């Protein structure tokens, strides 16, 4: 959807729930993915994303079109809700995937099953370590890293979402990655 179509749809959504539903359909997966990468917890993500779209629906009448994608507003609401979630629940528990319940093809030998299981555990441990290190970073570094590497946003899109200049975003990415690498090196067990 181009900006002009989106602008028209946002205008309609101010008075038409069906139009808001189309915006919801367009952006739900993107916002869900962003929040999931920030929390690594499916249940918490569902709660936060529900709040994001509820707040967007409640406040769409106050939304002013400024020739930037509607998703930028949703990402800002999501960031606010993530921050609120961490403030209210400092002990967000990461849900570990139950590797014993993962499907392993029955025609694979036991040795291959063990190798596959060990590889899955390794990937899972690396992901958990990465997530644990990301959440230790200040919020601004978390935002730019998740938007760039998990949400595949360009520096220009990140600028729009965060309301920052491109040089600032690039600098934040550089410093955030440097801090993340240091944390990863300090905490690596593999």
Question: What is the CATH classification number for the domain harbouring 44?
Answer: 1.10.1740.10
**What's residue 9's pLDDT?**
92
Q: Read off the pLDDT of each residue in 32-57 and give the average, rounded to a whole number.
A: 88
3-state DSSP helix/strand/coil % of the chain, to nearest 5: 75, 0, 25
From residue 160, give the alpha-carbon distance in Å to each of 55, 66, 88, 123, 129.
Answer: 20, 11, 28, 33, 29
Residues in the chain: 190
Whether 128 shows a pLDDT value over 60: the answer reads: yes
In which domain, by residue range, is 106 found? 99-190
Indicate if 119 and 161 belong to the same structural domain: yes
Q: Read off the pLDDT of each residue in 32-58 and give the average, rounded to a whole number.
A: 88
Indicate if 37 and 60 belong to the same structural domain: yes
Domain boundary among 72, 95, 118: 95
Distance in Å from the first CA to the final CA of the chain: 44
Whether 104 shows a pLDDT value over 60: the answer reads: no
Indicate if 103 and 187 belong to the same structural domain: yes
Q: Which pTM value belongs to this model?
A: 0.64
């Amino acid at each position: 959807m181009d900006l002009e179509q989106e602008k028209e749809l946002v205008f309609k959504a101010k008075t038409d729930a069906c139009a808001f539903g189309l915006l919801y359909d367009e952006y739900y997966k993107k916002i869900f993915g962003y929040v999931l990468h920030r929390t690594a917890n499916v249940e918490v993500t569902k709660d936060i994303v529900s709040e994001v779209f509820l707040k967007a629906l409640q406040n769409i009448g106050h939304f002013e079109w400024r020739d930037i994608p509607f998703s930028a507003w949703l990402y800002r609401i999501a960031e606010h809700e993530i921050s609120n979630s961490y403030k209210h629940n400092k002990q967000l528990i990461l849900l570990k995937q139950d590797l014993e319940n993962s499907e392993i093809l029955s025609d694979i030998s036991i040795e291959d099953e063990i190798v596959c299981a060990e590889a899955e555990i390794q990937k899972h441990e690396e992901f958990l370590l990465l997530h644990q290190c990301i959440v230790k970073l200040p919020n601004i570094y978390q935002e730019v890293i998740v938007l760039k590497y998990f949400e595949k946003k360009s520096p220009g899109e990140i600028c729009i979402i965060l309301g920052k200049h491109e040089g600032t975003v690039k600098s934040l990415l550089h410093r955030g990655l440097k801090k993340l690498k240091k944390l990863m090196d300090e905490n690596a067990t593999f």
